[in-house]
């Protein structure tokens, strides 16, 4: 039986948070030793929808690649590449644009949100972002896409476009399915547990940066918003802050939510918060040291991405050739 293809990508838009680590990176690493053929990309083209400083932008790419390598993403076990190195992503985007309706893109929640937060730069790339994402996915005959709650709408568009293309022409694209982690799919703000953890939050205590040192991590968790009770119990509705901390502790230690609840039965929130902070620091501090080592050899990082791009190009070229032939475009390499 042929292995299923799993695709995921993340933008190099600055320092990552603990939410990125739990919701994306840690899941990527776990998937390397499963039955899936994994394809992972640094989505640098997506990042251009927001103004970028060229020098910092390039550094962010290296920083993200080094982070993944430091987290034990083994390039021998997957295809790991830079999106812009595979030109078929943008070629397929144009073709899918011809079957995408403007109203579909205007209704996208992320487009509405970013239009508000970047009102001085509402560009067509911002609106077309989901079509490029659909191209990323469909180009590799992807079966499964790890998604957080905020990306479900974009994946649904990818599914709709695949079905629309198949119905208009012939079966060309696989209809991708979401892959949602059982635990930690969405990590919330430490200061507002009703809102997703984000590095763009003005309150620096609301998120844990993957670059935070141990003292900073401990201080931020000690300030985390909880509730007026003193019972460590999972209840996402009535105890959102504690539930978020339980999720973080569970993921970082490998324990179940129930095991974590039992561990802190009879203990106050102070002890619990400190333990969560220590569990996070125990993972992040060694990761930071490995990342620094990888960043000291950018030639190695470039070579990893180049080798990954060559593998991705091979797959992407076969798909774009199939698409061109399907719609009647003369394919000439």
**302-312 tens-digit pLDDT:** 999 999 999 99
Identify the pLDDT of residue 172. 97
Q: What are phi and psi of 213, to 5 degrees?
A: -80, 175
What is the pTM assigned to this prediction?
0.89
Closest Cα partner for 50 from 8, 12, 97, 9?
A: 12
Banded pLDDT at 262 (limits 50, 70, 90)? very high
Give the list of residues 6+ apart from residue 194 with CB closer than 8 angstroms, or none. 188, 240
Q: What is the pLDDT of residues 100-130, one digit of tens each?
A: 998 888 887 776 666 666 667 778 888 899 9
The pair of structure tokens assigned to 36 is 């899936």
Identify the pLDDT of residue 13. 83
Rounded CA separation 160/175 (Å) = 8
Banded pLDDT at 183 (limits 50, 70, 90)? low
- The CA–CA distances, whole Å, from 323 to 42, 142, 162, 221, 282 equal 24, 15, 11, 50, 48
Q: Is the pLDDT of residue 134 over 60?
A: yes
The pair of structure tokens assigned to 109 is 């929640």
- The CA–CA distances, whole Å, from 201 to 72, 154, 192, 208, 284 equal 28, 23, 10, 11, 21
Q: Is the pLDDT of residue 177 over 60?
A: yes
Rounded CA separation 224/245 (Å) = 9
Share of the chain above pLDDT 70, in %: 94
Residue with more model confidence, 10 or 164: 164
Tell me which of 19-23, 181-185, 306-310 is least confident. Answer: 181-185
What are the chain's domains? 5-185+298-327 (3.40.50.620), 204-293 (1.10.240.10)
Rounded CA separation 209/16 (Å) = 6
End-to-end CA distance of the chain: 32
Show which residues are catalytic.
114, 196, 199
Question: Stretch 31-50: mean pLDDT, rounded?
Answer: 92
């Amino acid at each position: 039986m042929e292995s299923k293809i799993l695709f995921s990508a993340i933008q190099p838009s600055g320092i990552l948070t603990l939410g990125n680590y739990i919701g994306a990176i840690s899941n990527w690493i776990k998937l390397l030793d499963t039955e899936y053929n994994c394809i992972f990309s640094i989505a640098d083209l997506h990042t251009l929808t927001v103004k970028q400083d060229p020098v910092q932008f390039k550094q962010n790419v290296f920083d993200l690649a080094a982070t993944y390598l430091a987290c034990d993403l083994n390039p021998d076990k997957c295809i790991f590449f830079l999106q812009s190195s595979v030109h078929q992503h943008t070629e397929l985007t144009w073709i899918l644009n011809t079957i995408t309706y403007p109203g579909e893109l205007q209704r996208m929640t992320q487009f509405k949100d970013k239009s508000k937060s970047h009102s001085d730069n509402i560009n067509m790339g911002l609106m077309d972002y989901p079509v490029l994402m659909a191209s990323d996915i469909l180009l590799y005959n992807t079966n499964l896409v790890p998604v957080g709650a905020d990306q479900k709408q974009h994946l649904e568009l990818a599914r709709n476009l695949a079905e629309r293309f198949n119905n208009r022409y012939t079966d060309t694209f696989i209809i991708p399915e979401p892959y949602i982690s059982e635990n930690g799919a969405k990590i919330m703000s430490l200061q507002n547990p009703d809102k997703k953890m984000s590095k763009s939050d003005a309150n620096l205590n609301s998120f844990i940066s993957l670059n935070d040192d141990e003292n900073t991590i401990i201080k931020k968790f000690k300030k985390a918003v909880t509730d007026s009770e003193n019972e460590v119990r999972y209840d996402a509705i009535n105890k959102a802050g504690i539930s978020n901390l339980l999720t973080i502790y569970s993921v970082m230690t490998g324990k179940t939510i129930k095991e974590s609840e039992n561990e802190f039965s009879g203990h106050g929130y102070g002890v619990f918060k400190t333990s969560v902070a220590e569990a996070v620091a125990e993972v992040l501090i060694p990761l930071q040291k490995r990342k620094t080592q990888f960043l000291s050899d950018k030639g190695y990082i470039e070579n990893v991405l180049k080798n990954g791009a060559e593998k991705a190009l091979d797959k992407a070229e076969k798909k774009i050739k199939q698409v061109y032939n399907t719609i009647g475009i003369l394919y000439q390499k």
